[in-house]
Structure 1
Amino acid sequence: MTTLALGATLLGGPASADVHCSVPLADWQPREALQRKLEAEGWTVTAIRADDGCYKVRATNARGERLEGKFDPARLEPVRRKTQEDDED
């Protein structure tokens, strides 16, 4: 699986489909904070939802590639992401 590196915050990390976050709900940052962060890095966010205790994001980049990622809801750091290319492999 190819990992996506967009901006300094999207480097490395697990690429497992079975990623779960275990952050108490009281510690979650708002979805809007994650959206602002990703848009500043060039993402066009189309959806953010809770999934397995993480934020799951669907977006596109400047080249029009579809992006999908899971983010820690407290730190807003990626725990898993993939691109449209990954689906075609």
Structure 2
Amino acid sequence: MKSTWFAACLLAACLAACLAAGPAAADRDCNVPLADWQPREALQKKLEAEGWTVLSIRSDDGCYKVLATDVQGARLKAKYDPASLERIRDGRDGADDD
């Protein structure tokens, strides 16, 4: 009987820890008022100046999500803060966790 109680307590503690981590995971995304967003064209010009060929720019979780290729033709994914146009997270050929 004690082992069942212990297992239930352990499960409840794990569930509480997972739920508490949920809001922390959301902090990875952007939280910028729409009025403060720079236009997509500004981000595209910035990336093209860096040698990227932009395939698409869309909004995702309050950020700009970019699909592009670099000068070698490698596929890139990246997220950018829409106000500062600073890179938040990126990956090559689907390595991004989105």
TM-score band, normalised by shorter chain: 0.7 to 0.9
Decide whether aligned partners of structure 1 residues 61 and 72 sit closer, same or farther in structure 2, where only a CA change above 3 A counts: same
> What fraction of aligned residue pairs are identical, expressed as a percent?
65
**1:49 maps to 2:49:** no
1:20-74 CA distance string (max 9 Å, x none): 1000000000000000000000100000000000000000001110000000000
More helix per residue: 2
In structure 2, list runs of 5 or more residues that go unmatched.
1-24
Q: Does 1:72 align with 2:92?
A: no
TM-score by length of 1: 0.74
SS of aligned partner of 1:70: strand
**Higher alpha-carbon Rg:** 2
Q: Which runs of 4+ in 1 moved over 6 A?
A: none
Q: Which runs of 5+ in 1 are unaligned?
A: 1-16
TM-score (norm 2): 0.68
